[in-house]
Chains A and B, each alone.
Chain A
Amino acid sequence: MATRLIHPDTRTTAPVPGTGAPTVRVRGLRRAFGDHVVLDDLDLDIAPGELVALLGRSGSGKSTLLRTLAGLDPVTHGTAEIDGTVSVAFQEPRLLPWRRVGDNVALALRHGSRASRRARARQTLMEVGLAEKHDVWPVTLSGGQAQRASLARALVSAPGLLLLDEPFSALDALTRIEMHDLVLALWREHRPAVLLVTHDVDEALKLADRVLVIDEGRVRHETRVTAERPRDLAGLQDLRAELLAVLGVHEGPTPS
């Protein structure tokens, strides 16, 4: 079986616009630890600039898929091709505490002069609303600010694919709403393909072009969300019920 992972920085050909070549093309991806199959002949395409949400219960294989796309886990069976660079924002911000916020962002830039890297880091911090936090230590940031800095670090390299690993799950409800709006604004501005891993059905419906449900290492369900953003979840109750049913969640009757 062919095993191939086209690594973002070894790829030389630029994506050709208009040809419909996907940013992510996964075929027959299989990963097993002993008898335990984590990814089971998984196929996945993500178009350039598409925002895809990946729903799944714990142990469904979504973390392994994300780690594989991030280049942190090897491709042992199947293929995973990615066009452009990949970056990740994790559930915890994972900023280096011993580097000032601006230096954390600049560290994600692997090319260019020191001055140009610093300038781009400053610009990206401004975009996430943290311009004034450029020179502070990460320990002084609030949870939401740290997550925005992490988002800036993921975006600064202008990735073709942005992987978001439950980046809002540890935030309070109000901060989460702000982050949703910020992510949408940044996505509209930079148009990376986005794979948002989440276990929040409402979050997926609010943000994504397409919602996938992964279970036992395969994509079991796929739904397009065509409603205009900003979305009113009240109008998406049918989709919501559909996704919850696929996830095996049965809600009781809503009190009237």
Chain B
Amino acid sequence: MTSTAPAAGAVITTGPRRSRPRRGAAALRRAISPLALLALWQAASATGVLPEDKLAPPLQILEAMTEEWRKGTLQDATVISVQRVAIGFAIGAAVALVLATVAGLSRIGEDAVDPPMQMLRTVPHFGLLPLLVLWLGIDESPKVALIALGVAFPLYVNTVAGIRGVDPKMLDAARAMRLSWTERLRHVIAPGALPSALVGLRLSLGVAWLSLIVAEQINATSGIGYLVSDAASFGRTDVVVGGLVVYSLLGLATDALVRSLERKALAWRHG
């Protein structure tokens, strides 16, 4: 396992989007090469260039996953994996937001919280897995803890940056209007920090899925990781690749969720 880069391929896109018809045509043009690659892959398998014990052809993967679905094993595995990410994310995000609020709002809080967070941030959290297993055993808790650790840092860093980036002139204007501290927090600081916090959210979700994949390689008896490693031991490359596809689809789904949240919450940026 060598994956250390968080959220590979998670490109944060902002800015106004192009108009509908042009986007449709562009999407069509951009779909051509991936489809051609799939066709090439299928053809390579059919002609025996790509042996099945190394990599199954796309149609067989689809078939195998349909079969897993029919048996119900795919749904069960997905529910377990999603649950791990949800719990780990919730814990990591809660801790990150509390610490970011403390560090962002008070000088004392910043001095107390930020230095250890910045130091811990540099530790590659996958490297902590052996320790987590020692501390927490081999069941659910080390998996959830690994995800929580991965989530906490990008969200913390971006939220603190967001809070600190709030224009002091806006805060002056709010004070001149006699807004109380809690009103300033609600009307100025929180919405001002939101764009940056949402960037942190997207990054942290990417890390959450990556952490899940790593965590599920260690002694999993359930979940998508188990489905994949079990299939691998029987040489079923179709289910192995199918499992990877499910991982990516889940990652894409949460990313799309955050992006739609961004579009709604940050509508004020584009009028």
Contact = CB atoms under 8 A, between A and B. Distances in A.
Interface of A: 8-9, 70-72, 86-88, 90, 92, 94, 96-99, 107-108, 110, 136-140, 153
B262 to A, nearest CB: 13
Interface stretch (B105-113, B130-138, B169-177): B169-177
B94 to A, nearest CB: 24
Interface of B: 169-170, 172-173, 175-179, 187-188, 191-192, 194, 267-271
In the A-B complex, the 9 residue pairs with the closest CB atoms: A140-B271, A94-B173, A98-B191, A88-B176, A137-B268, A98-B268, A108-B177, A70-B176, A137-B271
Chain B binding site: helix, strand, loop or mixed by DSSP?
A: helix
B169 A90 contact: yes
Query: Which residue among B179, B187, B270 has the maximum number of chain A CB atoms within 10 Å of its CB?
Result: B187
Nearest to B271: A140
A96 B187 CA distance: 8
B176 A96 contact: no
Contact of A139 (B173, B177, B192, B271): B271
Nearest to A86: B176
Contact of B187 (A8, A71, A107, A136): A107
Contacts of A88: 173, 176
Contacts of B271: 136-137, 139-140
A94 B169 contact: yes
A108 B269 CA distance: 22
Contacts of B188: 96
Given A8-B178, A94-B173, A107-B177, 6 more contacts: A71-B178, A96-B191, A99-B268, A137-B268, A139-B270, A153-B177
Contacts of A153: 177
B176 A87 contact: yes
A87 B188 CA distance: 18
B268 A97 contact: yes
30 contacts: A8-B178, A9-B178, A70-B176, A71-B175, A71-B176, A72-B172, A72-B176, A87-B176, A87-B177, A88-B173, A88-B176, A90-B169, A90-B173, A94-B169, A94-B170, A94-B173, A96-B170, A96-B187, A98-B192, A99-B187, A99-B268, A107-B179, A110-B178, A137-B267, A137-B268, A137-B271, A139-B270, A139-B271, A140-B271, A153-B177
Nearest to A94: B173
Contacts of B268: 97-99, 137-139
Contacts of B175: 71-72
